[in-house]
Amino acid sequence: MRARVRFLDTRPLRTSRPFRDLWIGSGLAGLGGQIANVAVLAQVWELTGSPVATGAIGLVTGGTMLLFGLVGGSLADSLDRRTLVRATTVGQLLAAVGLCAQAMAGNPNVVVLLALVAAGSAAMALGVPARRTLPARLLPADQLAAGLALSNVAFQASMLAGPALAGLIIARWDFAAAYAAQAVAVAVSLLAVVSLPPMPVAAAAGRRRPERGGWSIVLRRPTLWGSLATDLSATLLAMPVALFPLVNETRFDGNPRTLGLLFSAVAVGGMTAGLLSGTVTRWRRGGLVQLTAASVWGLALAAFGLAGPLWLALGCLAVAGAADTISVVTRSTLVQLETPDQYRGRVSSVEHVIGAAGPELGNFRGGVLASVTSAPFALVAGGFAATLGIAAVAAANGPLRAYRVPRAEVADA
């Protein structure tokens, strides 16, 4: 028994067919999304040859995700969540079909392409808060962390396989084939959602719908704001991705293969942690686990800033990726268990906004700081700043430090 729980806890896949279907569908949709992301980047570059235009992709997707994610949170606490996820998945499918059609037609207008990207991002953002609440309704509390770990492993797998698969598809066929692959993947995801049971929002103490918004609930519950503040400190102060090209140029002679390894190392660490997460997902001290893992993330990135040999740099990034996975899984579990069902949609939208905005702003912060100092200084300063920020949250938030999953809801604790 002790040896088994060191590995990925697959109980949710065995005990809940709806969760298993959702996991397979979401994993395929994530893979299709990664394929489409590469295709969009390559097509925009082919149409414009402009780094400003390729940068606009992030502006379009990030802006729509932030705007519509908050709207999606309110909808998720007002409508049947299965219905909302179905409708938004249909919207993603239509956007994917539109991308395929414009590529087949030889569209020369980058605005049309970006408009379709925005439509797909908006549909996804509207459905994300509701989709995040589904595991908590499909799984018992003692299996929720394991289910979220499984979802994270699927995400990390799509991050590793998607870009490589996209390159093969585009090289062998064209952009239309890549978008078609996304459309097929989203269609399979839609079939999984269609089979889910109804998921109306739980009644709210005599009222049809609670009046307070997600931000209000988060700020009123120390465990929630502490968990989200920990995540924001880690990403806003220490996100390293924007510095990878500069690090590669100054330390490793700009070798594109090495640049790819820097990106892959984080995902490899994350997937490894996910595959070995069976023990972590059964620990009851979720708040302490998140605080520790987030601190390790910051320290590993500071070490990456000082690392000379490539093997050491990749090792530091792998450790950071593993720590990030543990932090994300424990945070997501805590947020779902600590939030009453009637608020889960809006609180999930807050979590999504922080998760989407924090890394992007963190990359911007790192790039600006590196431009006036150096990449090593930006990485080291950011890593230590994140660790200090997390320590401040821990010192100020006793309920988060002491948080435990209720014993009655935990099996094999």
328, part of any domain: yes
Phi, psi of 406 (to 5 degrees): -50, 135
Are 226 and 183 contained in the same domain?
Answer: no
Q: Which of 34, 270, 69, 234 is nearest to 152 (CA)?
A: 270
Q: Given this model, what pLDDT does residue 116 score?
A: 94
Number of domains in the chain: 2
d(C-alpha 330, C-alpha 333), whole Å: 5
Same structural domain for residues 77 and 178?
Answer: yes
pLDDT in tens, 55-107: 577 677 777 877 887 788 788 878 888 899 999 999 999 999 999 999 999 88
Distance from C-alpha of 141 to C-alpha of 286, rounded to nearest angstrom: 13
Retrieve residue 145's tokens.
């962390």
CA 146 – CA 280 distance, rounded (Å): 9
Map 33-67 to HEC letters: HHHHHHHHHHHHHHHHCCHHHHHHHHHHHHHHHHH
pLDDT in tens, 300-343: 999 999 998 999 999 999 999 999 988 988 888 888 888 887 78
Question: Which residue segment(s) compose the domain that 92 sits in?
Answer: 13-196
Domain assignment of residue 203, yes or no:
no
What CATH number does the domain containing 29 carry? 1.20.1250.20
Same domain (yes/no): 88, 184: yes
- Is 158 inside any structural domain? yes
One domain, residues 252 and 158: no
Cβ burial 216-226 (10 Å sphere, 16+ → b, else e): ebbeebbbbbb
Identify whether residues 85 and 169 lie together within a single domain: yes
CA distance 98 to 104: 10
Domain-located, residue 41 = yes
193 CB burial (10 A radius; 0-12, 13-18, 19+): buried
Calculate ∠ Cα 250-253-259, nearest 5°: 85
- Which of 349, 385, 388 shows the shortest CA–CA distance to 366? 385
Residue 292 shares a structural domain with residue 322:
yes
The rounded distance, in Å, linking the Cα atoms of 15 and 117 is 37
Question: Does residue 92 contact residue 123 with C-beta atoms inside 8 Å?
Answer: yes
Tell me the HSE value of 13 on the side-chain side, using a 13 A CA sphere: 11
Torsion angle in degrees (nearest 10) through CA of 96, 99, 104, 110:
-170
Shared-domain flag, residues 173 and 223: no
333 assigned to some structural domain: yes
Domain endpoint, select from 196, 221, 250: 196
DSSP state of 241: G
Nearest to 120 by CA among 22, 38, 186, 54: 186
Q: In angstroms, rounded to a whole number, what is the distance separating the alpha carbons of residues 343 and 338?
A: 10
| Distance from chain centroid for Cα 392 | 25
For residue 402, pLDDT over 70 is answered with yes
Which carries the bigger pLDDT value, residue 411 or residue 140? 140
- In this structure, is residue 118 part of a structural domain? yes
Element (H, E) at 335: helix 310-338
Q: Which of 1-5, 30-34, 380-384 has the highest mean pLDDT?
A: 380-384
Domain boundary among 161, 196, 231: 196
Note whether 151 and 135 are within 8 A (CB).
Answer: yes
238 lies in the same domain as 278: yes
Q: What is the mean pLDDT of residues 354-366?
A: 76
- Pair 250, 358 in one domain: yes
Are 358 and 235 in contact, with CB atoms under 8 Å apart? yes
| 3: in domain | no
**Which pLDDT tens digit goes with each residue over 187-242?**
999 998 888 888 887 654 444 555 556 677 888 889 999 999 999 999 889 888 77
- Are 248 and 362 in contact by the 8 Å Cβ rule? The answer is no
Highest average pLDDT, of 15-29, 188-202, 258-272, 335-349, comes from 15-29
Residues 312 and 378 in one domain: yes
Q: In terms of domains, do 179 and 292 share one?
A: no
Residues 250 and 361 in one domain: yes
* Alpha-carbon span 363 to 345, nearest angstrom: 27
Q: Report pTM.
A: 0.70
Cβ neighbours of residue 124 closer than 8 Å, sequence gap 6 or more = 65, 88, 92
**Amino acid identity, residue 67?**
L
Distance CA(371)–CA(246), nearest Å, equals: 10
**Is the pLDDT at 408 greater than 60, yes or no?**
no
Any domain includes 192: yes
Last residue of a domain, one of 130, 161, 196: 196
The answer to whether 278 and 8 are in contact (CB under 8 A) is yes
pLDDT at 413 over 60: no
d(CA 113, CA 382): 36
